[in-house]
Structure 1
């Protein structure tokens, strides 16, 4: 401030001195012209400096600092410092905004920001997919014009947002179930969150079906056993007839035992999400045992052939693989009529994948049933399944064992001619056995 005052006094004094000299030595008019000339020069200098400052500001104060002396030098440096601070604040705010947008874009949920009039201010990509929106096209459009569902309009109108809204049939394929809820924030603004609960709903339905199926499967043999017990208690039966009833009760008890064992096996497989260990499984030995069990179960009713490549083993869990192989073979024995043929094969194909296959000459399976065969308790013919003694869990167990070994279950069938079930094991789990060296 003192520097500014000093400069002003100096310029004023010089103008007065020049005017006085001109007045004394020349004339009053010359004195006036001289003083005006000095003041004009000072104003021109000031205007030139102001022009340089203006140009500097137009460049957003990021260009080269103009050379200016005295007061102007200090002013330009202060302006540059303030602009630098402002740029840093803007950069920081923009970065925070970008992080905010990136966070919402990374969210697995749909996010829509609504203004006071329920117009869309912003939405992420998931919301676009869920509701068929386009952010550029639909910005500042009322959300209920775009999400045209009566239940959503009712939810929006009532303004009761404490509970979420369930909307079905959403998404590109109209097959998603969404849980939608609005959350107020700021000055009468709202954040709409949409979560895909399709899998959760499907899991809940599967759980309900599972409980119902288990109850049904357990109730049937228990009812039969209770009927037999009541008969034995109330009637005076001959020893031979009583033994027949006891044998039938034992069959029902064994059926319940098999069901419980399969349920426990399935529960253990579902609880173990880790891949199966890479332990060498001797396929010749394992398949040999499976073949023996199949022939014992068949009791000579079918012709069973087995052909294996003993030079290839599998890296996995022997107990689980044995269970999977036996389930596939047991199904073939149960459903292949007397006199039919069952072929068990183990080989490595041209892609290096292991193929354990069971082919039968049974009745075959209609195409509409094939996609659901590995579901728990799914049966094509429930009455026939009970006659053959199946629990309805065998192929579900095979599927889970396959998943643990990164394998696939392939099912081919021609209705009326037979079926082929293949467990396709990836090349990284195939072990080649070196033949012994003869001396």
Structure 2
């Protein structure tokens, strides 16, 4: 911190006061000298001749003596005052994190009012510094806490003027680009419910909590908020000077409730459909056995078996998802990717699709049973949507960053952009009628996503309507077994592996 310039401390009023006394002292000294001359040379004894030089010397001597007295007074009175002024100004201008007092005293540490005054100012400055540092630290901590809160927070005074807001409030309600004319809450929030409840808080002085829907950001639909308004009161007289409003988004809660409702509905539907079929055919079998008829029983039992298998597969998939979400540990072992892929394809003997398999990475570390589920679900999903005359391509390779990639690409109808964000949700199906007809449950891709994430990777889909889809699973490069990458890419059996 730069010291104040000398001119900033010049005490004009004090100097005027001293100059007046200096003039009076000079007159008194001159009078004393004249009186001394009069006593030495009494005029009653006749005229006394005093030379001009003697008078001039007399006047200069008197003013010199008065000047010395003036300088002595300045050094003893005005200089300490300048020091105290300097200290008080530094006390007023000093930043919170700087020492505002000199280490050595400017005024003598001995007895005297000036020394006592300086000591008291020093104590005041040190106490002020401690308090300002504490306030600065508390302010920084409070800003960090408010900034870390995921809720939108804003404070206004009793006139509705904005006092402060956190970063979440700025992002959610677009306060980043506020101009100088936007200073009130009703300039950014137009909800009558919020403004009316805020006015009630100012009137009654009690907190209020309520739910409201507001348009925020670029959202096309209103967002539900739980709003809490708390009055701000002064500590000394409890007078109201403002209020803090907290906007807690209910989007996650609403989405969870909606997902729970959809999950219950989908599970109920998936369970009810095969159970209804099983119950119906069992009833037919019972009636036929009572009447002694046996025609078609083998077909009925086959239908019952398929529906029971469907139930078992559904329950197994749900349990697998639940285990993954609850933190189930993987059985990590070296996995032969070519052999595993071939084993999965052998499970689809009745499908008349051509599946091309390309292996560029022979081995990785992973849970073999879970990786088998990934391949099976992706191939099953591709077969379900790809026409019989189209091809499916499976590839194990390395990505640009060295990660292991599993790609299952088809020549199907592709996926519309609106479906991509929800494609890996449980029970979500792009084509509801076709999935139901071909046995799709809408849980396979969700299981794929969780298994890949459990291995430390992620899943993405590249697709355009009418151009097919490419489901790409990325696994970390750390799972690659050293020496497992062949010098040249090779294929299983041949360039095309027919499933027929």
| TM norm structure 1 | 0.78
Q: CA deviation at 1:260?
A: 0.9
Q: CA deviation at 1:136?
A: 8.0
Q: Is the 8 A contact 1:180 1:192 kept in 2?
A: yes
**In the alignment, which of 96, 101, 107 is matched to residue 62 of structure 1?**
101
Q: CA deviation at 1:214?
A: 0.9
Q: CA deviation at 1:351?
A: 4.3
**In the alignment, which of 260, 266, 277 is matched to residue 224 of structure 1?**
277
**CA offset digits 1:352-388 (Å, max 9, x no partner):** 3323233445455455444433222122333332332
Matched residue, 2:256: 203
Secondary structure at 1:98 match in 2: helix
Matched residue, 2:7: none
What does 1:148-159 align with in structure 2 at a 5 Å threshold? 148-159=190-201
Matched residue, 2:340: 286
**In the alignment, which of 186, 191, 207 is matched to residue 144 of structure 1?**
186
Q: Is the 8 A contact 1:121 1:140 kept in 2?
A: no
Change (3 A) 1:151 1:65: same
Whose radius of gyration is greater, 1 or 2?
A: 2
Q: CA deviation at 1:129?
A: 1.8
Q: CA deviation at 1:264?
A: 0.9
What does 1:79-118 align with in structure 2 at a 5 Å threshold? 79-118=121-160
Alpha-carbon distance between aligned partners in 2 of 1:365 and 1:109, rounded to the nearest angstrom: 36
Change (3 A) 1:391 1:185: same
Alpha-carbon distance between aligned partners in 1 of 2:348 and 2:89, rounded to the nearest angstrom: 90
Matched residue, 2:479: 429
Alpha-carbon distance between aligned partners in 1 of 2:309 and 2:466, rounded to the nearest angstrom: 31
Change (3 A) 1:138 1:367: closer
Q: Is the 8 A contact 2:209 2:227 kept in 1?
A: no
Residues matched between the structures, number: 408
Matched residue, 1:14: none
Alpha-carbon distance between aligned partners in 1 of 2:485 and 2:136, rounded to the nearest angstrom: 68
Change (3 A) 1:273 1:224: closer
Alpha-carbon distance between aligned partners in 2 of 1:233 and 1:278, rounded to the nearest angstrom: 49
Alpha-carbon distance between aligned partners in 1 of 2:326 and 2:468, rounded to the nearest angstrom: 34
Matched residue, 1:302: 353
What does 1:255-270 align with in structure 2 at a 5 Å threshold? 255-270=310-325
Q: CA deviation at 1:397?
A: 0.7
The structure with the greater share of residues assigned to helix is 1
Matched residue, 1:130: 172
- RMSD across aligned C-alpha pairs, in angstroms? 3.9
**Is 1:53 the equivalent of 2:100?**
no
**CA offset digits 1:309-334 (Å, max 9, x no partner):** 3x531222222111101111222334
After alignment, is 338-347 or 96-105 more displaced? 338-347
Q: CA deviation at 1:190?
A: 2.0
Secondary structure at 1:432 match in 2: coil
Change (3 A) 1:211 1:243: same
Matched residue, 2:229: 182
Change (3 A) 1:28 1:102: farther
Change (3 A) 1:78 1:408: closer
Matched residue, 2:309: 254
Alpha-carbon distance between aligned partners in 2 of 1:322 and 1:345, rounded to the nearest angstrom: 14
Q: Is the 8 A contact 1:123 1:135 kept in 2?
A: no
| TM norm structure 2 | 0.69
Alpha-carbon distance between aligned partners in 2 of 1:339 and 1:364, rounded to the nearest angstrom: 16
User: Structure 1, unaligned stretches of length 5 or more?
Assistant: 1-21
**CA offset digits 1:396-439 (Å, max 9, x no partner):** 11111122223333434565675443323333322233699xxx
Q: Is the 8 A contact 2:355 2:393 kept in 1?
A: yes
After alignment, is 385-394 or 52-61 more displaced? 52-61
Change (3 A) 1:104 1:256: same
Alpha-carbon distance between aligned partners in 2 of 1:413 and 1:358, rounded to the nearest angstrom: 12
Q: Is the 8 A contact 2:403 2:475 kept in 1?
A: yes
Q: CA deviation at 1:292?
A: 1.6
**CA offset digits 1:199-223 (Å, max 9, x no partner):** 3322222121111111111122222
Secondary structure at 2:106 match in 1: coil
Secondary structure at 1:87 match in 2: helix
Matched residue, 1:238: 293
Q: Is the 8 A contact 2:461 2:470 kept in 1?
A: yes
Q: CA deviation at 1:341?
A: 3.9
Matched residue, 1:323: 373
Secondary structure at 1:66 match in 2: coil
